[in-house]
C-alpha cells in the first residue's frame, strides 16, 4: 500500500484506521440505528434466564434486540438475535436478512468482526440491494484491517445509494488509510456537494489536517465542536472531533492542549486504549516550564 504518501500527509495508518472505525458510527443501519463499534472488545453474553419473552415471535425478538442496542447493550441484544436467527432459518418474508444484519452490528459492538462479516455476508446473500449492509460490511472489514476490501464494499453501497453523503466520507477516510489521497479528497468533495455544496466544519478541518495546516485544522475542529453542542449529535461524533483536534494539536507541538483533548475523549470513552496511548505520549512530550495550556 502507498504508505509514503499517507505519511507525507501527516497522519499514520493506525490513526486513520481508528478514525474510520469511529466514522462507521455515523453510518445508518437499515432500521435507522447508528452502528455502535466497541473498540475495546468485551466477551459476548446472552440475557439471563427469564429475560427472553415466554412467547417468542420474530418481530418481537427484533424489536427487543433494537431496544437493547439503543440502550448500548449489544451483548444483551445478541441473546435475542441468536434466537431470531434460528427462528428465521426458513423465513420467506425477508426478515432473515434484517436479523442477520442486526446480529452483525451487535457482534461488531462486542469486538467480533469476523463473525460480524460472516453474518452480513449471509444477509447480502438473502438481499443484495440494501446499501447499509455494505456499509456494515465495510465496518467489519476495517476492524479486520482490510481497508482495500472495505473500499469495495462502500463502492457498492454508493452505487446503490449515490446521494448518501456519509458514505463518501467513510470511504474518504479509508482511502487515506491505503494512501489514495487524491481519491480521498474527491470523496470529501462529493460529500460536500451532497451536503448542499459546502463541507461542514469537521470535514474542512480534515482537509486542512491533510494539508498539514494544523492551526486552521484546529480552528475548524473547534467550530465543529461548537456546532455539535447546539444540536443532538451522538457522543461518538463529538469524540471523533476531539480526537482529531487532539492529533492536530499534538502534531503542531501543542502537547498540553493535545493531552486535554485526549483526556476529554477518554472521559466519555474510557475503553479507547489508542487514545490513552496518544495522551501518554503527549504528556511525556510536554516541555518543562510554563504550561502550554495557559
CATH for 73 = 1.25.40
Nearest Cα to Cα of residue 229 among 198, 214, 237, 120? 237
What residues contact 177, with CB distance under 8 A and at least 6 apart?
A: 6, 13, 16, 17, 20, 147
Segments forming the whole domain that contains residue 90: 36-129
Say how far apart CA 254 and CA 252 lie, in whole Å: 6
Has residue 236 been placed in a domain?
no
Residue 35 backbone class (left: φ over 0; alpha: ψ -120 to 50; beta: rest): beta
Has residue 252 been placed in a domain?
no
Burial class (CB in 10 A: 0-12, 13-18, 19+), 283: middle
Three-state DSSP state, 28: strand
The DSSP call for residue 39 is S
Three-state DSSP state, 258: helix
pLDDT of res. 128: 93
Q: Which three cell numbers stand for residue 20?
A: 474510520
pLDDT of res. 181: 75
Q: What is the largest CA-CA distance in the chain?
A: 70
Which residue in the block uniquely carries the three cell numbers 435475542? 80
Has residue 266 been placed in a domain?
no
Say how far apart CA 279 and CA 118 lie, in whole Å: 35
Say how far apart CA 138 and CA 115 lie, in whole Å: 14
Instruction: Give how many domains the chain has, as a whole number.
Output: 1
Has residue 134 been placed in a domain?
no
* Helix 13-23, helix 165-177: angle, nearest 10: 160
DSSP string, 206-217: HHHHHTT-HHHH
Has residue 11 been placed in a domain?
no
- Decide if 1 contacts 178 (C-beta within 8 A): yes
pLDDT of res. 6: 35
Say how far apart CA 16 and CA 243 lie, in whole Å: 11
Say how far apart CA 212 and CA 169 lie, in whole Å: 19
Has residue 233 been placed in a domain?
no
What is the C-alpha R_g of the chain? 20
Say how far apart CA 62 and CA 229 lie, in whole Å: 33
Has residue 13 been placed in a domain?
no
Has residue 67 been placed in a domain?
yes
What residues contact 42, with CB distance under 8 A and at least 6 apart?
A: 75, 110, 111
Say how far apart CA 46 and CA 266 lie, in whole Å: 28
pLDDT of res. 230: 63
What is the pLDDT tens value at each position of the chain, 294 positions in all? 333 333 343 444 445 555 555 555 444 333 333 333 333 333 344 444 344 444 568 889 999 999 998 888 889 999 999 999 998 888 766 789 999 999 999 998 888 999 999 999 999 999 999 999 999 999 899 888 888 999 999 999 999 999 888 888 888 878 877 778 788 878 887 887 887 766 778 878 877 887 778 999 999 999 999 887 765 555 567 888 898 899 889 989 999 999 999 999 888 877 777 788 889 989 988 654 333 332
pLDDT of res. 72: 80
Q: Give bridge partners of residue 28 from the DSSP assignment.
A: 34
Amino acid at each position: 500500500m502507498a504508505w509514503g504518501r499517507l505519511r507525507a500527509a501527516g497522519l499514520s495508518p493506525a490513526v486513520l484506521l481508528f478514525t474510520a472505525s469511529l466514522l462507521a458510527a455515523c453510518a445508518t443501519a437499515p432500521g435507522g440505528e447508528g452502528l455502535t463499534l466497541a473498540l475495546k472488545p468485551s466477551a459476548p453474553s446472552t440475557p439471563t434466564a427469564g429475560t427472553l419473552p415466554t412467547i417468542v415471535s420474530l418481530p418481537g425478538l427484533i424489536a427487543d434486540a433494537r431496544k437493547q442496542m439503543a440502550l448500548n447493550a449489544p451483548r444483551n441484544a445478541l441473546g435475542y438475535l441468536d434466537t431470531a436467527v434460528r427462528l428465521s432459518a426458513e423465513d420467506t418474508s425477508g426478515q432473515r436478512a434484517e436479523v442477520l444484519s442486526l446480529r452483525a452490528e451487535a457482534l461488531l459492538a462486542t469486538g467480533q468482526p469476523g463473525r460480524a462479516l460472516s453474518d452480513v455476508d449471509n444477509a447480502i446473500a438473502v438481499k443484495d440491494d440494501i446499501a447499509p449492509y455494505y456499509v456494515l460490511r465495510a465496518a467489519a472489514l476495517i476492524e479486520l484491517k482490510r481497508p482495500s476490501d472495505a473500499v469495495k464494499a462502500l463502492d457498492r453501497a454508493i452505487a446503490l445509494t449515490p446521494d448518501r453523503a456519509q458514505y463518501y466520507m467513510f470511504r474518504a477516510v479509508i482511502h487515506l488509510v491505503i494512501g489514495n489521497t487524491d481519491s480521498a479528497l474527491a470523496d470529501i468533495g462529493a460529500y460536500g456537494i451532497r451536503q448542499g455544496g459546502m463541507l461542514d466544519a469537521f470535514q474542512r478541518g480534515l482537509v486542512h489536517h491533510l494539508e498539514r495546516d494544523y492551526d486552521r485544522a484546529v480552528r475548524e475542529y473547534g467550530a465543529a465542536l461548537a456546532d455539535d453542542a447546539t444540536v443532538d449529535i451522538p457522543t461518538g461524533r463529538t469524540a471523533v472531533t476531539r480526537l482529531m483536534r487532539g492529533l492536530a494539536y499534538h502534531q503542531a507541538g501543542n502537547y498540553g492542549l493535545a493531552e486535554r483533548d485526549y483526556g476529554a475523549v477518554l472521559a466519555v470513552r474510557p475503553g479507547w486504549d489508542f487514545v490513552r496511548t496518544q495522551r501518554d505520549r503527549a504528556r511525556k512530550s510536554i516541555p518543562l516550564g510554563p504550561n502550554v495550556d495557559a
